[in-house]
Structure 1
């Protein structure tokens, strides 16, 4: 059985429907499913995602704001979380938390590490040290695997 992901349907900040599996085809993806109201997300997970983006330039980092009732993301409130007022990596909106449900997220932040073949390599919940270490090791092993295949 393959863990291939056929589609991840989201909207960009301008409300245009996007399929992340098409946009980032053949790229290693680190997706963070988060919500602005989650302090662990905005305080720890998003800065961590930014750090991973700096450390692993070959990996595409992207954020997915999971919308819940009365906790919806807009272009303005998503950008307002960042001190620069600009997104540090692409961010998309998950209307009706469909992607959140698609990956059976345990809560926010939920990290999805997807191989360049479009297979789910790891799904990790949280922003504390344990989750951070598991993510770091998963990224390292995926990057090393890529180097071996070159």
Structure 2
């Protein structure tokens, strides 16, 4: 087991060490709190941490940030509270734990046996039954008694709900110029300065555009004037937006439309039937959860005040 000493801090308990965990079966989950792929396994991680704690399982989350705002401890604490995470969290702002494991993925699960050897890994979502069987086998091998060999039954809510993979035809799309693709506003990105953008009509599938006054940075794009709009032509059940106020503690209001109309029963966990919502922190927002039939749709979000930063669209 690689060292955990590279963590910049620990939450939900004292710092843990590889030597101090000897004799325990350890599950290490690399995640980051605004990544939809990292959020959907959480119901299983919480359930396993509770079910197998008495038999010697220790679940550790390694929060390895993708965006700069994910390095802020207050943002991480907010995420732990929002998702009811009580198992230990190593805050890996320098990616030193990530590098020690030679990890490359969010999420990534590693299982370490009681002798400190990595015996199993899984990259990405899914295969939860297989992972739980591996947990049970390592606990039994370590001498745990009364290991329940049934499988947990969980149901994620909101952004933690299982995706509808059959209908996901839109890719994760970054909204800063360093990594963005398929930006359709005429003239393309204008880096690092305030600019008045327009949105073409119609958009092709998986194209996105801005309308109004925005400034596009390398990592995030910021609305500079009230009523700036962001549009995306997508095909998926769920649409999420990673966003936040540029100034912490300044809630910002928005309204979303789907094909030019309020979402109604297709609203997400962070919007109502009229499409209204509030940006209250730097995190992932679920804005649309469609009911069948799933088809190509045009999503639009209008920010009613300036100051919102948008980072990425994700789908499910």
TM-score (structure 1 length as normaliser): 0.77
Tell me the distance in 1 between the aligned counterparts of 2:133 and 2:49.
15
The 1:85/1:142 distance shift into structure 2, 3 A limit, reads closer
Correspondent of 2:24 among 18, 24, 27:
27
Q: Which position in structure 1 is the counterpart of 2:140?
A: 144
- Partners of 2:30 and 2:62 within 8 A in 1: yes
The DSSP-based 3-state class of the residue aligned with 1:56 is helix
The 1:140/1:6 distance shift into structure 2, 3 A limit, reads same
How far off its partner does 1:110 sit?
0.6
Q: Which sections of structure 2, spanning at least 5 residues, go unmatched?
A: 146-316
Q: Say which structure is richer in strand.
A: 2
How far off its partner does 1:23 sit?
3.9
Tell me the distance in 1 between the aligned counterparts of 2:83 and 2:107.
21
Correspondent of 1:97 among 80, 90, 95:
95
Q: Which position in structure 1 is the counterpart of 2:125?
A: 127
Could you say what the CA RMSD is over the residues aligned between the two structures, in angstroms?
A: 2.6
- List, as ranges, runs of 4+ consecutive aligned residues in structure 1 with deviation greater than 3 Å: 82-87
Q: Which sections of structure 1, spanning at least 5 residues, go unmatched?
A: none
The 1:19/1:55 distance shift into structure 2, 3 A limit, reads closer
Tell me the distance in 1 between the aligned counterparts of 2:83 and 2:125.
22
After superposition, the C-alpha distances for 1:76-122 in whole angstroms (9 at most, x for unaligned) are 21121245676411111112222223223241111111112111111
Tell me the distance in 1 between the aligned counterparts of 2:108 and 2:48.
15
Tell me the distance in 1 between the aligned counterparts of 2:52 and 2:36.
25
Q: Which has the higher contact order (CA 8 A, sep 6+)?
A: 1
Tell me the distance in 2 between the aligned counterparts of 1:78 and 1:133.
28
How far off its partner does 1:38 sit?
1.0
Q: Which position in structure 1 is the counterpart of 2:110?
A: 112
Tell me the distance in 2 between the aligned counterparts of 1:24 and 1:33.
18
Larger Rg: 2
Q: Say which structure is richer in helix.
A: 1
The 1:74/1:27 distance shift into structure 2, 3 A limit, reads farther
After superposition, the C-alpha distances for 1:104-147 in whole angstroms (9 at most, x for unaligned) are 3241111111112111111211222x2x1221121121122123
The DSSP-based 3-state class of the residue aligned with 2:49 is helix
Q: Does 1:37 align with 2:34?
A: yes
Q: Which position in structure 2 is the counterpart of 1:47?
A: 43
